[in-house]
Amino acid sequence: MKIQNPIIWADMPDPDIIRVGDIYYMVSTTMFVMPGAPILKSKDLYHWELVSYVFNTIEDNDIYQLKNGKTAYGKGQWATSLRFFNGLYYACFVCHDMQKTYIYYTDDIEKSGWERYVINNVFHDMSFLFDNNRSYLIYGNGDIKIVELKDDLSGIKDGGVNQLLFSTPSENIMLRCEGCRAYKINGYYYLLFIEWPNDGNSRRRVVCYRSKDLLGEYDRKILLDDDMEYQNQGIAQGAIIDTPEGEWYSILFQDHGAVGRIPYLLPVSWEDDWPNLGVNEKVPESFEIPFEAYDTKPLIVSDSFNHNENKLDLRWQWNHNPEEDCWSFTEHPGYLRLRTQSLATDILTARNTLTQRTSGPQCAFSVELKTEGMKAGDYAGLVALQGNYGAIGIRADENNLKRIIVSKKGSDGRQIEEEYRLFADSRILIKIEFDFRNSSDIAKFYYSQDGIGWIKLGSDLHMTYTLDLFIGYRIGIFYYSQKAAGGFADFRNFSYESRQ
């Protein structure tokens, strides 16, 4: 089977991979959207489908409820380590907003909502390492440390290993080694990292440290320094994995503009007990792998919202924790009904924004909106969600006057209305088109009364990947009020179109 890179042209950063028999599982970062820590499944390392989430929510506090000016934007779940050990699946990550490390576990990886242990410490970008029935976390940024866990992984082992392993170079380095992935292979301990130098190619690269003694001296080698000729954005940070037949592969990601951080598959060979990533130290655009294609469900989907129970498809995620009693498929059959029970100042403070990823090279999303239940001060529609967001929808003003508007985040951080038109009907179709080709990173906004003739509204949004949210652009269905809670908006026939 021939694979083409990238293997997923959508935001799927910080991958870690395990193999159980002939099945591969991968975890990624979704930060503040809920449920989170998605688990993907494959049998060929190329085609992946979503099967579960590690957690439904992390915490239920002001940070994750978007209350009192607090948010988890740019934080939440980061760089999860995934392992299978003694019959259980483990996932570990840090929440910098909570200043805690979470270790989740389950005996069924394809079931969402795992049990967990909470450690009141930050083990940044950690990796599990299991060795001789002892359990460790290897973690850090520049100063790489190791800490031993209790036998049941419920916390730090009293009197166990807890020390600095080594310090990585700091001269001419903008970002010292982090993003650890730890392995023991054929008698060697391998620690894979990313680092970002200021000299040389000045881009992210893969670095490996190797030792035969876990606590001993480590040798260092740069394994990969390549951007596939894309804006000097190095392809780095991820995992290596073997096949049942003993072949090796790696999945790494690349910062790829507004669409987010996208994964690549590389062959791995071994020389003098060092892993060689790629082909001639480059990421191949395509290559053959000895698998039969694995039939998977798509990672982004359309949705009629015509459901008999209040259960979301796995591909949907909320912006922060949802207000569970404020959404329904059954209250108005055939529609997603969103209600308000709290106020918001703008889209980024609104509860119950329902999201999916966007995809490259181009894609478009549309939905039908019914507005009979909207009250003065309400705003409902579609948003291109990131720090520099743009939205199209209906705003209800005083005297039940409704307007079609495009709104964006202004340079001062406040939400501004760019263009509007009066709207006298109770039904409208709205659409956002995304163009990521050649890093154009443009979003365009449209509305229609019949779904055939589309009218462009507002100026194009020049999308930028910013670290305040730290995610690739998502499509979001939103509804909130600035004046009085208690209204509702109805959506149906959400449509996703992937374009080349």
What is the residue extent of each domain of the chain? 2-288, 317-499
Strand partners, 103: 92, 117
Residue 36, C-beta contacts closer than 8 angstroms, at least 6 positions apart: 30, 53, 54, 55, 58, 76, 77, 317
pLDDT-derived band of residue 336, with 50, 70 and 90 as boundaries? Answer: very high
Average pLDDT over residues 197-207: 97
pLDDT-derived band of residue 419, with 50, 70 and 90 as boundaries? Answer: confident
User: E strands along 186-231, which residues?
Assistant: 188-197, 205-211, 219-224
Asked which of 76-85, 309-318, 413-422 is least confident by mean pLDDT, the reply is 413-422
The structural architecture, per CATH, of the domain 317-499 is Sandwich (2.60)
CA distance linking residue 12 with residue 237, whole number of Å: 12
Residue 293, C-beta contacts closer than 8 angstroms, at least 6 positions apart: 1, 44, 46, 47
Q: Is the pLDDT of residue 478 over 90?
A: yes
- pLDDT tens, position by position, 145-189: 999 999 999 999 999 999 999 999 999 999 999 999 999 999 999
Mean pLDDT, the chain, as a whole number?
A: 97
Amino acid identity at 407: S
From residue 338, alpha-carbon distances to 214, 482, 488 in Å are 53, 15, 6
Domains 2-288 and 317-499 share a fold: no
Cα three-residue angle 51-56-58, rounded to 5 degrees: 130
Q: 2-288 in CATH: which number?
A: 2.115.10.20
Q: What percentage of the chain exceeds 90 in pLDDT? A: 98
Q: Give the ranges where 1-132 is alpha helix by DSSP (H).
A: 62-65
- What's the pLDDT score for residue 97? 96
Average pLDDT over residues 311-336: 98
Active site residues: 14, 178
Q: What are phi and psi of 64, to 5 degrees?
A: -95, -5
Cα three-residue angle 111-115-117, rounded to 5 degrees: 150
Both tokens assigned to 392: 């199209």
Q: How many CB atoms lie within 10 A of CB 35?
A: 22
Asked which of 51-65, 117-131, 367-381, 414-428 is least confident by mean pLDDT, the reply is 414-428
- Given the structure tokens 């009085």, which residue do they identify? 484
Q: Do 16 and 181 contact (CB within 8 A), yes or no?
A: yes
Residue 216, C-beta contacts closer than 8 angstroms, at least 6 positions apart: none
Run of H or E including 444: strand 442-448
